Structures are given as C-alpha cells and as structure tokens.
Amino acid sequence: MPDIIDPMFWIGPQGLFASAVLPTILVIVFVETGLLFPLLPGESLLFTGGLLAAHGTLNIWVLAPAVAVVAVLGDQTGYFIGRRIGPALFKKEDSRFFKQHYVTDSHVFFEKYGPAAIILARFMPFIRTFTPVVAGVSYMRYPVYLAFDIVGGVLWGGGVTVAGYFLGNVPFVHQNLEKIILVILFVSMLPAFIAATRGYLARRRAAKVGSGDHEIATGLGTDVVDRHPGV
C-alpha cells in the first residue's frame, strides 16, 4: 500500500504525526475536499482514528463531531471554488496528482443522482473530492447543498469513526488491522473504480462515434467531388 494512503503512515504508533493524531486527521479530511487533493486516506483514516480512540489515544466524542464539522467545512470550500473558478477546472490538464476524468466522472455522478450525490459521494474516494466543485459550477442552491452536505458529513465523519471505536476492542480487528484497512480501501474505492471505468468506456464509445461520423462525412465529400469535379 502506498504510504500516502496508509493511515498508519500518518497516525499509527510509529506514524509521521503520532504525537498529533487529532490535528492530523482533521487536516487530511479538510485538504482532501477543501484543497482538491484526492490522494489521501479517507474511510481507513477515520476507522483507524476510531480504533485509536477505543484504546484511549483520542476522545471519540471529540473526534467524531470534529471530523464531521471539518468535512463539511472542506466541502464548503470546494463548493465556492466551483462557483469562482470551476469552469477552468474542466480545462485543466492532467498532472501527477490530478486527472481530468476525476472532474468529469464527478460531474456524471452528480447529474445522475442530483442532490443525493452530495451524501453518496462522501463514501467514494476521488468523487467526493470534486463533487462539491461540480455542485458549485452547477450553481446548486446553497441552502440545499448545505443541508445535504451536513447529512453526508455527519454520516461519514461520525459514522465511520464511531464504527472504528466500537470495533476497536474486538480482538480479531486488532490482530488483523492492516488487512481490514486494505478491505476498507478496496470497498470504498470500488464504486469510484466502477464509475471511472464506465466513464472511460463511454468516452471511448463517444470517440468512436465521432470518428465514424467524420469518416462518413469525408466519404460523402469525396463522392460529391468525384461526381462533380468542376464544383
């Protein structure tokens, strides 16, 4: 597992920020959606935070509401980025940490599910990063966006951390933490992978249709010239 998406790399006992677990979790949660950086741990980070709370490292009743609040704040930042500079993001070239299909896939997801996408996207890596931007670009009414986002933030931020907290003292979970984190990563990324695959196939089909139309038009033009050389 790459270190950047491994929660133990950040907040584990030997992690980079083992002495500042709560601030690290909150910063990562905010950066993912507020600063549009999708390559960070999400559900696995919150689950690990809940597990650490079960062992006394954190207070779960501080962690869960704090994560929910910061998740909503990050989304609000993404929304207003969409309102201000969103259209330019659709023209941004691919880079090491940004792929254009992140935005287009989020747009397709948003168009399909409407306001409910704000809640559903919370549980989908990559898509959750750019859905607030798409909502801003679409000028979704802010009170509606805020209401759905609060629900999503509470379900995600509170739900996943509390789940980690209550499962943290289960011996099987404690003994197989790394495997469980991998399962969480796989399950959380599966919907985004499926959406990305569908988007890729749709783009390929559209490209083939466009290429076919161009060939037909070219063929018709050649046929006209052959029949009417003086034209």
Query: How far is 100 from 102, CA to CA, in rounded Å?
Result: 5
One-letter amino acid at 88 equals A
Nearest to 140 by CA among 83, 187, 205, 61: 83
Contact 128, 33 (CB under 8 A): yes
Residues 6 or more apart whose Cβ sits within 8 Å of residue 118: 75, 131, 132, 135, 145, 148, 149, 152
CA angle 158, 109, 90 (to 5 degrees): 110
Residue carrying structure tokens 């689950």: 47
Neighbours of 39 (CB within 10 A): 14
DSSP letter string, 54-82? HTTSS-HHHHHHHHHHHHHHHHHHHHHHH
What pLDDT does 219 receive? 55
Nearest to 180 by CA among 54, 60, 1: 1
Query: How far is 83 from 71, CA to CA, in rounded Å?
Result: 19
Query: How far is 90 from 4, CA to CA, in rounded Å?
Result: 26
What pLDDT does 108 receive? 75
Under DSSP, is residue 39 helix (H, G, I), strand (E, B) or coil? coil
Query: How far is 97 from 130, CA to CA, in rounded Å?
Result: 13
pTM, to two decimals: 0.73
Residue 58 structure tokens = 């954190």
Query: How far is 100 from 93, CA to CA, in rounded Å?
Result: 7
Residue carrying structure tokens 């980070």: 45
pLDDT tens, position by position, for the chain (231 residues)? 566 777 777 787 777 887 889 999 999 999 988 888 877 878 889 998 998 898 888 999 999 999 999 999 999 999 998 888 866 766 666 655 456 666 677 777 777 777 888 998 888 888 888 888 888 888 888 999 999 999 999 999 999 999 999 988 887 876 776 777 777 767 666 766 776 677 667 767 777 766 655 555 455 455 544 555 554
Q: With the C-alpha atoms ordered 214, 216, 217, 223, is the resulting torsion angle positive or negative? A: positive
What pLDDT does 72 receive? 96
